[in-house]
Amino acid sequence: MDRLKGKVALVTGAARGIGAAIARRFAEEGATVVLADLDGAEDEARDIAEATGATTLALPCDVADPASVAAMHEAAVARVGVIDVLVNNAGINVFREPLKVTDEDWRRCMAVDLEGAWHCSRVVLPGMLAKRHGSIVNIISNHAFTVIRGTFPYPVAKHALLGMTRALGLEYAGQGVTVNAISPGYTETPAVAAYFASQPDPEGFRAGVEAKQPPGRLCRPEEVAAVAVLLASDEARFIVGENIVIDGGVSIRMYE
């Protein structure tokens, strides 16, 4: 399994959940992997290196802070080389009724879920363009093209991130850089597990959520990681500005 052999990949929000699954799968496919996370990802980086034999590097990073992103990128390039693949996975949920959204809610949501992806893309693009080769994969959500009441302003940021994916994809398609997105649905992550646990009847709540998924279960992080490998690989050089949806069919189902 060497679809990413020789590539240096940077994954944000890589300490857990989807980001950790992508980092691990990239390592299994031969990549050197930089795991960037707000709280650091040392344990995950060590576990992946031990399990796969790949070179990994954990670096702290607040994607909402351009200076933090720049420092992380500088350290990564100095230690493992120019970034070939960027996965913008870091994100937060900010769900409110619109008129209950505070200025801080809005700022925090946009800073992480939208601007963070741009901060990271902006620092890696010059190196990719110089090599005329690179891949950026944005982890979005099916909130990027559908809306659930009570989740504002999260879908605003995700719709915008899909727009950024398409704009950058077209801008750089002729210069060797692909930019695409993945939109997972309800996924089995620590954050989702914590949300279920916070409910009065965790098991009953989970069962209700699973019943709404056409396959009868949640998405698994490794299923998202499998698609990320494709988009990061040289097999996907003709995929430009696309958004691959992994939501078990939820978004194509009519109301029931």
**14 neighbors 89 (Cβ within 8 angstroms):** yes
167: which 2 tokens? 């704009």
DSSP assignments along 26-82, one per residue:
HHHTT-EEEEEETT--HHHHHHHHHHH---EEEEE--TT-HHHHHHHHHHHHHHH-S
Sequence-ordered strand ranges (E) for the chain: 8-12, 32-37, 56-60, 85-88, 95-96, 134-139, 152-153, 177-184, 243-246
CA distances in angstroms from 182 to 32, 82, 83, 91, listed in the order given: 22, 24, 20, 13
Q: CA-CA distance, 184 to 225, in Å (whole number)?
A: 10
**169 neighbors 155 (Cβ within 8 angstroms):** no
The one catalytic residue in 154, 172, 186, 255 is 154
Is 154 noted as a catalytic residue in this protein?
yes
Strands 152-153 and 95-96: antiparallel
- Which residues are known catalytic residues? 154
